[in-house]
Chain A
Amino acid sequence: MRRRVAIIGAGMTLFRRRMLETGKELSFEAAKMALDAAGLTLKDIESVVEGSAPDAFDGVHMKGEYLIDGSGGIGKPYQRVYVGGGTGVFTPVAGWWNVASGLYDTCLCVAEEKMSPLHPHPQYAFWSIFDQILERPLGTTLLWIFSLEMRRYMHKYGIKEEEIAEVAVKNKGNAVDHPCAQLGAKITVDDVMRSEPICSPVKRLDVSPPSDGAAAVILASEKVAKKLTDQPVWLDGVGWTLDSTHWTNRDLAYPEYVEKAAKMAYKMAGIKNPRKEIDIAEPYDPFDYKELHHLEGLQLAGKGEAPKLAIEGVSQRDGDMPVCPSGGLLGVGNPIAAAGMMKVCECFWQLRGEAGKRQVKKDAHTAVAQAWGDLMQVGTVTVMRS
């Protein structure tokens, strides 16, 4: 019953702290690039999915409706999806429903974020994701929840800050080769350790920046994809699950919701041994420890064992299982929804051998992209194959 779905084009804008373009303009630029790459025009597109994270960043309510003309959705079956930071990978998941279900043969998936409008700092929007009665009166910031989780993760498995810093070094280094990157840099573990403490154990260089940007992919049914390209990238598995907002009642050392989402996607894609079968991973890395946390949830490392991957070279771009060869959120930037979609775009380009300077050394056929969000509660996963 379910139809096979392919990604046939991808596009993205620059990721920067502040862009001149509006969210509509960013959406248009990324979508147009993806259409051009697929050799299509908007007339060929049957449905459109837009992903964008909290309305509070832009101060624009009904953001999906606001963005519709830039996203190419006018007069078409159109939906805006939102699961916090998980939105970027959830957007092609929702696109997959459109095509796999047989409803449509082509679907344009666009993810955009403008974080810069909110003053004095985009972080302020995150205050309002906490419980308004029991948590906000304490003066919450999103950085608390990450530093609390990072500390718990380190404590449970005896992991050192220096080991976690290796992820920031790897990802920011990888981003040097990404033409859209905001924060590509060659840094050392020492640089991370000596950077300003923000919310201990989280330091300045453990964190991705706020950004503006957009990214897009075109999905097509097997029949249409085979007509248009001899290099389709198959979206063979999708998964998503959410936990409750009672994050202080949860095991903060292990993201069970990511495990569930990953297992759903792997089952669909027929993957039995993820660590052996997956060639490239793009897990969500808004903080360096989050990449490790998510690699464990994705079953690509044992619990507490993910730090070894970067240290031993496995997750480096020339390693056996490159992780965030794009440069990730830590290096390319973190326009929330667009950042997750950037990971899907990276998998697409890597699997087609088009990643240029970022191309991984190994012969890669299977990739996984994952995003995470809200109050430590969202896991979204896609598995792609060339």
Chain B
Amino acid sequence: MSQKITSYPGHEITPEDLKASKYLEIIQKVEPKYSWAAGVAISRFLNELKEGRLIGRKCDQCERILVPPRMYCERCYRPTDSWVYVKDTGTVNTYSISHVGTDARRLKSPLLVAVVEIDEASPGMGILHTLSEVEPSRVTIGMKVQAVWKPAEERQGAITDIRYFKPFEGV
């Protein structure tokens, strides 16, 4: 605000004003429903999730294995070349302990969320998911994790076919 300006416009509605119904409110609920096509690349990815596998796409020019897969390489700006299965294990790139849900309300118990860099994909190729079977205080960046899958009959071809990632138990 310039010191040349001595008053500034606007009327605040305070929480007290709301409680006292000082101003009119017009309330409408908008409930659109969408049905998305998953696309060429992600449809295959989802079908592989149903089989309990992760898959990426390889670009032969930059030699990256892209996860999530795309039919084009956004860097080389050319079609990608082949499907490549990758492991369902990975490394925690970063993590957070979320105390709030989608609408900013407090969650009953905190949720561990992470970016997991997938093994056998190119370095830095992470996906967003949750972590479990681990105390929040034990999670570290660089920690090895593995996918915990839903039983085959419950899988629907969705990212939630992986229930969560847990600390890697293999060798």
Q: Which residues of A contact B (CB under 8 A)?
A: 10-14, 16-21, 26, 29-30, 33, 37, 59, 116, 120-121, 123-124, 127, 132-135, 137-141, 143-144, 147-149, 151-152, 155, 178-180, 196-202, 213, 244, 246, 248-252, 349, 352, 354-356
Contact = CB atoms under 8 A, between A and B. Distances in A.
A138 B100 contact: no
Nearest to A342: B1
B159 interface: yes
Contacts of B23: 20
Contact of A178 (B1, B30, B94, B128): B1
Contact of A152 (B8, B93, B97): B93
Given A124-B103, A139-B102, A151-B141, A213 B95 contact: no
B40 interface: no
B113 A148 contact: yes
Given A121-B104, A356-B1, A200 B125 contact: no
Interface of B: 1-5, 8-14, 18, 23, 28, 30, 34, 36, 38-39, 42, 45-46, 66-68, 74, 93-105, 110-111, 113-115, 124-130, 136, 141, 158-160
B128 A135 contact: yes
A329 B35 CA distance: 37
Nearest to A346: B1
Contacts of A132: 34, 36
B98 A134 contact: no
Contacts of A16: 10, 12-13
A127 B13 contact: no
A197 B110 CA distance: 10
Contacts of B67: 249
A199 B97 contact: yes
Contacts of A135: 128, 159
A19 B39 CA distance: 42
Contacts of B8: 12-14, 33, 179-180
B96 A148 contact: yes
B96 A201 contact: yes
A249 B124 contact: yes
A131 to B, nearest CB: 8
Nearest to B113: A144
B69 to A, nearest CB: 11
Given A133-B38, A133-B159, A200-B96, A141 B9 contact: no
B124 A155 contact: no
Contact of B74 (A137, A199, A244): A244
Contacts of A155: 94, 141
B28 A143 contact: no
A29 B9 contact: yes
Contact of A144 (B30, B68, B98, B125): B98
Given A135-B128, A155-B141, A249-B125, 7 more contacts: A19-B11, A20-B10, A29-B10, A143-B100, A151-B141, A354-B3, A356-B2
B165 to A, nearest CB: 12
A345 to B, nearest CB: 8
B102 A59 contact: no
Nearest to A249: B125
A120 B141 CA distance: 34
A178 B2 CA distance: 10
A14 B102 CA distance: 28
A246 B104 CA distance: 24
B99 A10 contact: no
Contact of B97 (A197, A246, A251, A352): A197
12 contacts: A13-B10, A33-B5, A132-B36, A144-B96, A148-B115, A152-B93, A179-B1, A248-B127, A249-B66, A249-B124, A349-B2, A349-B3
B131 to A, nearest CB: 12
Contacts of B1: 12, 178-180, 349, 356
A192 B102 CA distance: 23
Contacts of B42: 133-134
Contact of B68 (A14, A134, A352, A354): A134
A252 B13 CA distance: 38
Contacts of B126: 248-249
A251 to B, nearest CB: 7
B10 A123 contact: no
Contact of B10 (A26, A202, A355, A356): A26
B28 A59 contact: yes
A139 B107 CA distance: 11
